Amino acid sequence: MLPLSIGVIAPAAQAQFSDSYNFLKAVRERKGEEAEKFLSEPGTVIVNTRDGSTGETALHIVIQRRDATWLIYLLQKGANPALSDKKGTTPLMLATQLGYVEGIETLIAKNAQVDQSNRSGETALILAVQLRNAEAVRALLKAGANPDKKDSRAGYSARDYAQMDGRAGAIVSIIENFDKTGASKKADDLNFKGIGDSK
């Protein structure tokens, strides 16, 4: 009698788990075929579902384990890199916090918003500067991150944090050199002086 009752309860308990829960579970456990079942349903938006307790999306999960294959796969399936967890952390910010530069570059290639802020107003670039991760700083600046966007907690920008940190001289140089070779150079290229002067 006991084995039969267990067999009756188990399917009922399994049925209580939502598709969202089971999809995120498949992503966590790297079960590609299981995840594909959910993602292949017509009109599904499950790829952007959030964990009920943390707010994490599938992108957050695969970035935590630095899984480039799953990251690319989920982005191809329409995963939204702008969705943040309950702390306001986007996948790009999480990749930055982990020093996962390949992930940063992959997300940027799929139009992740580089100047999106968390609840403290921190951008991925501010986080990269605070962590003194020169490679991440370069990748974010190259993607158009604004070094002068200030956070809401302290009112400082990535440039400010770099200049205040006595050990971040290399980061200050990267920001200043980017200004000279990046944004400023582009402005110089658009030199229309002399056009229309001759009549």
Q: What is the pTM of this model?
A: 0.82
Divide the 199 residues of the chain into consecutive groups of 10 and give the mean pLDDT of each group. Answer: 45 62 97 96 93 97 98 97 96 98 97 96 98 97 97 95 94 88 44 42
Res 43: pLDDT: 87
Which of these CATH numbers, 3.40.50.620, 1.25.40.20, 3.40.50.10420, 2.40.30.10, describes 120-184? 1.25.40.20
**Element (DSSP H or E) covering residue 141:** helix 134-142
Phi, psi of 150 (to 5 degrees): -90, 150
Q: Tell me whether domains 18-113 and 120-184 share a fold.
A: yes
Per-residue model confidence (pLDDT) at position 178: 87
Domain locations along the chain: 18-113, 120-184
3-state secondary structure of 5: helix
Task: Give CA–CA dist 156/125, Å, rounded.
Answer: 12
DSSP H helix total and E strand total for the chain = 12, 0
Whole-number pLDDT of residue 180: 63
pLDDT (0 to 100) of residue 198: 42
pLDDT of residue 199: 39
Question: Are the C-beta atoms of 119 and 87 separated by less than 8 Å?
Answer: yes
Q: State the CATH class of domain 18-113.
A: mainly alpha
- CA gap 128, 73 in Å, rounded: 25
Tokens encoding 122 = 């921190």
**pLDDT at position 5, please?**
44
The residue with tokens 């590609």 is 32
